[in-house]
Each structure stands twice: as structure tokens, then as C-alpha cells.
């Protein structure tokens, strides 16, 4: 299992760093800059990552800090806010961070509660680009319900749109299933059924009243909108896998990835095109016209969770930035000496 944990954590960062140079380029511009097939290898030593990995590390720090109390929401929201503010003020926060994240974190720093700080109408991919480690919580004894709640809360602190919440949960659940051996031939069917099952499930204990604004008349109506959009992009992934063309920009098929459900869909699509080959999956994600680093970040996490670290080039793993932080995250999830505290989020509760 250690190889899969490393694969998910390092794959996320590798994908992010690999895709960073192509993020704001069109598909044709990428081919012209790196002929004839586009960018084939991550650049630099170290391979520099973006805010995607930086914020994913912030989320992981909050998970590690709050594991002993079972990830209870009041403690967790304070930790997430703390580490998001820490990221905001980090001198290395110069990697084209998303404005929704910046705006929300600035409000948190001014002392606003996250319900007032969150951008309620934003479903940007900042919500789920950072969620990968939440999908590993099953390895620490947490059930899917807790994973779902935590995934949505970490998104909601900055992105309050229902689709941002649903897409973040779906991203985490995809990783949770892949790391436990659900194969690429079954994952789409599983996620489609999961999205339908969750369609009206609102986690009040973690999300509080984030739903309460026009035009929604109930928390169920609020979250339903998010799951319906996620179900539609899952259908796009299915259709695209049947009709895709090898040289085509994946963003033309499943979305440009600037919003959460599209980064999830296109990241998953690229993984499913090459489920046993993370290198080819990442090349497909990186050479895209949309939010390439976020798409590749998720492709790397999916590929790593399924294939393990051994499937990535050693050179890429050794060159990735934030080695120490990523290793600490891996150690936390592979450690079996600090299981879930009793009566706090156990599997049967």
C-alpha cells in the first residue's frame, strides 16, 4: 500500500509541476513550442509546482493535525483556515494562485468566519485541485461518509458553489476507490452510481448554512444542483472514451478544467485513456488547452493511487519540489500506529 500512497501524493505534485508550463497556452501553442508532440517531460530541477500542490499540502497538514480528534468539524475548519492563511502569506505563493482562493483567504485573515469568507458563487477548480489526500483517509480508518464531509468542507471554506462541493467529494471518492483496487473498467460505473446516491445528501454538521441563499429553498435542492452537474460530466467522460481521437485536445471533449467538475472529468478522462501508464496519461493531461496543471494534478493523483509510485520515472519523483512535505504526508498515511480514535467517525457510525 505504501507504493500507492506515494503514487497518489507524488503523482499529484508531479502532474502539477509537469502541467505548469502549459497552463496558459492553447493546444496549438503547446505543439509549436515543444514540437512535434508537445511537452513530453517535466521541466526544471527541481520541478516547480503551483498553488495546487501548495494548497494540497495545507489541507494535508490540517488532516494530520486533527486526526486525533477524529476530524471533528469545528476543529478542522479552524485548522484549514489557519493553513490556508499560512499559504496566503508564504513567500513562495507566487505560482499564479487562483483569485477565488486569494480573496477567501484574505477574508479569513481579517477574521471573518468561513461562511462569510467563502466565494459562494465560485465553482473554480481550486476547490478540488487540493483534495487528493482526503481520499486517503480510509487508510486511517475513516468511512466514506467522513471522507465526503471533509472533502466538501475543505472546498466550502473558499468555494461555496454546490458543484465545487460535489466535485471535491467525487474527486476524493475516486481516489479512495482506486487506492483500494477498484479498476479503471469499473470506476466510472461506481462514480455514476455514487453521484446518484448522494444527490440530495447535505452534510449539515460540516457545511452548516452555506446552502442558505436564493434560489435554493432547501439544503437538498442546493446540493442537488452540484451533483447533477457532476453526473453530466461523468456522462461526457463515458462518451469521450468511446469517441476520443489520440491527437485531440482532451479539453475539447470533457472541458477545460477551470471549474471543479471539468478538472475532475478531464483529469479522470486522461487517466482512463492510459490507466496502466501514468507517463502517457500525464502527457495527455499536460498537452491541453485548459487549466493544464490542475488537470494533470488530478490525473497524477488518480494514476498514482491506482498504479503506485513504481510506475513513475524515478527522475521525476526525485526532482519534484517540496520533497520533505510530501514525504511527511506519505508517512502519516502509511503509519498504522495511530489509528482512528474510538467513537470518532468509526466505520459503522
Q: Is 277 annotated as a binding residue?
A: no
Q: Which conformational region is residue 81 in: left (phi greater than 0), alpha (psi within -120 to 50 degrees), or beta?
A: alpha
Q: In sequence order, what are the residues at sequence separation of 6 or more whose Cβ sits closer than 8 angstroms to the Cβ of residue 342? A: none
Q: Is 90 annotated as a binding residue?
A: no
Question: 231 a known binding residue?
Answer: no
Decide: 148 and 203 in contact? Cβ < 8 Å.
yes
- The answer to whether 346 and 143 are in contact (CB under 8 A) is yes
User: Is it true that the peptide bond before 70 is cis, omega within 30 degrees of 0?
Assistant: no
Integer Cα distance of 75 and 78 in angstroms: 5
CA end-to-end span of the chain: 25
Cell, residue 192: 455514476
Q: How far apart are CA 36 and CA 277, in angstroms?
A: 21
Beta-bridge partners for 124? 259
Residue 291 assigned to a binding site: yes
212 in a labelled binding site: no
Unique residue bearing C-alpha cell 508517512 = 331
Report in angstroms the alpha-carbon separations of 66 from 79, 104, 112, 188, 344: 8, 22, 21, 32, 11
Q: Count the residues in the chain.
A: 349
Cα-atom radius of gyration of the chain, to the nearest Å? 18
For the residues of 238-301, what is the DSSP string, one character each?
Answer: HHHHHH--TTS-THHHH--SSBHHHHHHHHHHHHHHSTT-HHHHHHHHHSSSS-HHHHHHHHHH
Per the annotation, does 294 bind a ligand? yes
The Cβ of residue 130 has, within 10 Å, a number of other Cβ atoms equal to: 30
Q: Name every residue whose Cβ is closer than 8 Å to that of residue 34 and which is 6 or more positions away in sequence.
A: 40
Write out the binding residues for Mg(2+): 50-52, 291, 293-294
Write out the binding residues: 50-52, 291, 293-294
Amino acid at each position: 500500500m505504501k507504493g500507492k500512497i506515494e503514487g497518489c501524493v507524488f503523482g499529484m505534485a508531479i502532474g502539477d509541476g509537469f502541467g505548469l508550463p502549459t497552463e496558459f497556452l492553447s493546444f496549438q501553442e503547446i505543439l509549436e513550442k515543444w514540437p512535434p508532440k508537445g511537452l513530453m517531460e517535466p521541466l526544471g530541477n527541481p520541478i516547480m509546482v503551483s498553488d495546487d500542490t501548495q494548497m494540497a499540502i495545507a489541507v494535508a497538514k490540517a488532516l494530520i493535525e486533527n486526526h486525533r480528534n477524529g476530524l471533528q468539524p469545528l476543529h478542522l475548519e479552524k485548522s484549514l483556515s489557519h493553513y490556508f492563511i499560512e499559504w496566503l502569506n508564504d513567500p513562495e505563493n507566487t505560482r499564479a494562485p487562483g483569485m477565488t482562493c486569494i480573496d477567501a483567504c484574505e477574508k479569513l485573515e481579517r477574521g471573518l468566519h468561513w461562511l462569510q469568507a467563502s466565494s459562494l458563487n465560485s465553482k473554480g477548480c481550486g476547490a478540488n485541485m487540493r483534495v487528493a489526500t482526503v481520499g486517503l483517509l480510509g487508510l486511517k480508518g475513516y468511512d466514506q461518509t467522513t471522507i465526503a464531509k471533509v472533502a466538501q468542507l475543505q472546498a466550502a471554506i473558499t468555494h461555496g458553489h454546490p458543484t465545487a462541493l460535489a466535485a471535491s467529494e467525487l474527486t476524493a471518492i475516486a481516489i479512495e476507490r482506486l487506492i483500494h483496487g477498484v479498476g479503471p473498467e469499473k470506476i466510472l460505473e461506481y462514480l455514476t452510481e455514487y453521484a446518484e446516491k448522494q444527490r440530495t445528501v447535505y452534510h449539515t454538521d460540516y457545511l452548516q448554512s452555506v446552502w442558505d441563499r436564493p434560489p435554493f429553498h432547501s439544503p437538498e435542492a442546493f446540493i442537488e444542483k452540484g451533483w447533477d452537474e457532476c453526473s453530466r460530466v461523468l456522462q461526457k467522460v463515458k462518451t469521450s472514451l468511446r469517441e476520443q481521437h489520440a491527437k485531440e485536445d482532451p479539453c475539447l471533449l470533457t472541458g477545460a478544467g477551470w471549474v471543479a467538475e471539468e478538472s475532475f472529468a478531464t483529469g479522470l478522462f486522461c487517466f482512463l485513456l492510459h490507466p496502466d501508464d501514468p507517463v502517457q496519461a500525464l502527457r495527455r493531461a499536460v498537452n491541453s488547452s485548459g487549466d493544464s496543471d490542475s488537470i494533470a494534478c488530478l490525473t497524477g493523483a488518480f494514476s498514482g493511487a491506482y498504479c503506485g509510485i513504481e510506475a513513475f520515472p524515478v527522475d521525476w519523483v526525485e526532482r519534484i519540489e517540496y520533497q520533505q512535505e510530501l514525504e511527511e504526508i506519505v508517512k502519516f498515511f502509511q503509519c498504522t500506529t495511530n489509528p482512528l480514535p474510538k467513537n470518532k467517525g468509526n466505520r459503522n457510525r
